[in-house]
Amino acid sequence: MDRTRLALLDDDPAVLDSLSMFFAQGGLETTCFVDAETFLARFDKGLELDCIVTYVRMPGLSGLDVVRHVAARPAAPPVIVITGHGDVAMAVSALKQGAYDFLEKPFNETSLLAVIREAIAATQDRRARELTRLALREQLEALPPRQRQVLVLAAEGLSTKEIAQKIRISPRTVEGHRAWGMQKLKARNLADVVRIVQGYAQS
Asked if pLDDT for residue 201 goes beyond 70, the answer is no
What is the mean predicted confidence (pLDDT) over 28-34? 94
Q: Are 34 and 16 spatial neighbours (Cβ–Cβ below 8 Å)?
A: yes
All domains in the chain, ordered by first residue? 4-131 (3.40.50.2300), 143-202 (1.10.10.10)
Which residues are bridge partners to 32 per DSSP?
8
State the pLDDT at residue 1: 43
**Percent of the chain at pLDDT above 90?**
51
pLDDT tens by residue, 109-122:
999 999 999 999 99
pTM of model > 0.75: no
Please report which confidence band the pLDDT of residue 196 belongs to, taking 50, 70 and 90 as the band edges: confident
What is the mean predicted confidence (pLDDT) over 175-197? 86
Asked if pLDDT for residue 150 goes beyond 60, the answer is yes
DSSP annotation string for 17-74: HHHHHHHHHTTEEEEEESSHHHHHHHHHTT---SEEEEES--SSS-HHHHHHHHHTST
What is the mean predicted confidence (pLDDT) over 159-176? 93
Peptide bond into 145 cis (omega under 30): no
Please report which confidence band the pLDDT of residue 199 belongs to, taking 50, 70 and 90 as the band edges: low
d(CA 167, CA 154): 12
d(CA 8, CA 52): 6
What is the mean predicted confidence (pLDDT) over 88-111? 85
The whole-chain average pLDDT of the chain stands at 88
